[in-house]
Each structure stands twice: as structure tokens, then as C-alpha cells.
Structure 1
């Protein structure tokens, strides 16, 4: 198994890793997204998120979840491909799929120390902020790289 493949987890596997990391005193950061076409904005965001703690856990929307959120023409890459790409980054320590509309139940299970989203969100609109703050954790936003989004990349490819 390649090192990146070892980072792809089922929820039970992830919870075992989380328990181990906690016994080691690691600070756990959580974020989530579709990550359909990875671009420099994603890389910058995720690397900055990882710097907020010791381990970065990434909740990745399943194909069905992406389609419900973004429409029937998405995702452009299947979930297996998206998992492998995201797991290949040094700053991502675990990737787990979730199929729900939001990662609320996943956040509830993981109980991260830090919950992160881009600055296109406010703290009170970040799903799971209540769970993390109740436990004494932090909820943070990270400035996004202007001019980069998957929708913009798709539009450029299509020439629209």
C-alpha cells in the first residue's frame, strides 16, 4: 500500500487514528469539501489549515453528495480519484468520505480541536461550530486565494 492510500479511512478507521493521535497529545484540525478539481486555492487553504494543528482531517463529499450540492454534471472526478489526490498532500493526514448534506455527524464523531473553513463563511455559518465551541475548541476561517474556484476553472475549460 502506498503512503497516500493509508491516509484514506473509513469512519471506524479514522476514529481509531483519532484516538491514537489524542493519546499522543496531537491537536486535530478538521475541514471538509468536494475538492472536485484541485487548484492553487485548495492547496493554499489546506496547507494553512494544517498549520493550525498537528493533524489535518479532511471530510470529502461522496459523489452523490457532490451531485446533490453542485448539480447532475458534478463531480467531474469520482470519489476514489478525489480521495487519492487529497491523500497525496503532505499536509493532509486523513481523508474520510461523508454522504450527508453536511459534515455535522462526522464532526460530532471526530470532535476536532480546530474546525476550519474559508473566509467566505462566517464562524456562525460553519456547520459544526456549535459542537467544537462547546468542547472548548476553536473555529477559524482562512483567507481564500482570490480568483480561484472550481466553478471558474470549469468555465475556463468550457470557454464560457
Structure 2
């Protein structure tokens, strides 16, 4: 675990636009000390575009991944840490509740999109979270134009949505190994069987 610089302190009275002027490392350090709220990391489409422009202007390598992230487990955390290691910043796209229901059925998600985004935003390895409503992440990937698209190795390369978009601009797609023994669906089934 990285500890934030001890001397770093920013008042909660700083206007929202002032927080954007902090370097990302300071925002991450502040988040680790509970000085900033998750809303500083959970971004709507316009905020996400501004965040991406800021990162590009600073010459940062942008990694992107996406998923439902419904009931988080250690496999999710390790996956996100590995995804972050492929870039200077990690943006996580999260399926909206409606998107999850269309993809996984009406009994999912267990946790709301807001709750899922909030938990992800609290992870030190996650720099930005944005909820998308489409069935696939194709649109958000096209908007972000990440340098690195990270997906689990359980996805065949030819089925990774956004691969062509990323590769067309010189980016890379990385299939990160999946932790065996962890599954949100298995956790849900286990709880239901109790």
C-alpha cells in the first residue's frame, strides 16, 4: 500500500474546479486520506472527456477496462491493479443497471450502478470511473481512445469489444490472466443456496 505524502493537505472547501487543477497523483493521495469524495473520480461523459484531455496533455498513458463489478472480490482488485500497471492512469467503464439487466437478466445487478462506481472509485489503483448505458463498451472506448485496453484472458481476442478502435490508433490490447476461484456469479449462487 502506498502512503500519501504526509505534508499534503487540501481543505474540503476547495471548489470542485480547483480539485481538477491538482495533479492526479495528489488527487489519488488525497483520496487515500479521505480528503476527496468518490465523486471526484466518478465522471459523467463530459467530465470524462475533460479528464482524458488533461491526461493526454500531460503525456500520460491511459489504460482502460470495463465490466459490471457487481459483488467485488479479491480477483477484481488484483485485476484492476494489474490493469493500472499497464498505464499511468486507469479508467474503468461500468455497465449501468439497465445495461446489466439486458446482458445478465432482470435479477442483476445486486448492487446499483452508483454503489458499484463508488466502491471502484475508492480503489487507489482506479483514477476515474464512468458509467455507460450501452450493452457494450464500444462507445465509451471510442470516446476515451485508450492507449491500452485491458480485458480478462477469458475473452477471446477477436471478441474483445473496442479492440479495432484501440489498435487503429496504435494502442494495444492486453488480455490479463484471470484469478481462478473467484466469480461474482458463484458468490451469488452460494448466497442463494443458504
TM class, shorter-length? over 0.9
Q: Cα distance, 1:4 vs. partner?
A: 2.3
CA distance in 1, matches of 2:108, 2:102: 9
Alignment partner of 1:16 out of 44, 50, 53: 50
Alignment partner of 2:73 out of 36, 39, 43: 39
User: Are 1:115 and 2:140 an aligned pair?
Assistant: no
> 1:70 is matched with which residue?
104
> 1:158 is matched with which residue?
192
TM-score (norm 1): 0.97
User: Are 1:94 and 2:128 an aligned pair?
Assistant: yes
> Which blocks of at least 5 consecutive residues in structure 2 are unaligned?
1-11, 13-35
* Deviating more after overlay: 2-11 vs 100-109: 2-11
TM-score (norm 2): 0.80
Q: Rg bigger for which structure?
A: 2
> Which blocks of at least 5 consecutive residues in structure 1 are unaligned?
none
CA distance in 1, matches of 2:132, 2:38: 19
**The residue matched to 1:115 in structure 2 has which SS?**
strand
CA distance in 2, matches of 1:72, 1:126: 24
Q: Cα distance, 1:123 vs. partner?
A: 1.9
Report the RMSD for the aligned CA atoms in angstroms.
1.1
CA distance in 2, matches of 1:104, 1:97: 13
Deviations along 1:22-67, one digit per CA (max 9) or x if unpaired, are: 0111000011000010001111111000000100000000000011
CA distance in 2, matches of 1:69, 1:124: 19
CA distance in 2, matches of 1:72, 1:141: 29
Runs of 4+ that moved beyond 3 A: none
**The residue matched to 1:102 in structure 2 has which SS?**
coil
> 1:130 is matched with which residue?
164
CA distance in 2, matches of 1:114, 1:30: 6
CA distance in 2, matches of 1:155, 1:91: 29
Q: Cα distance, 1:3 vs. partner?
A: 3.7
CA distance in 1, matches of 2:62, 2:115: 25
> 1:82 is matched with which residue?
116
Higher strand share: 1
Aligned length: 160
User: Are 1:106 and 2:143 an aligned pair?
Assistant: no
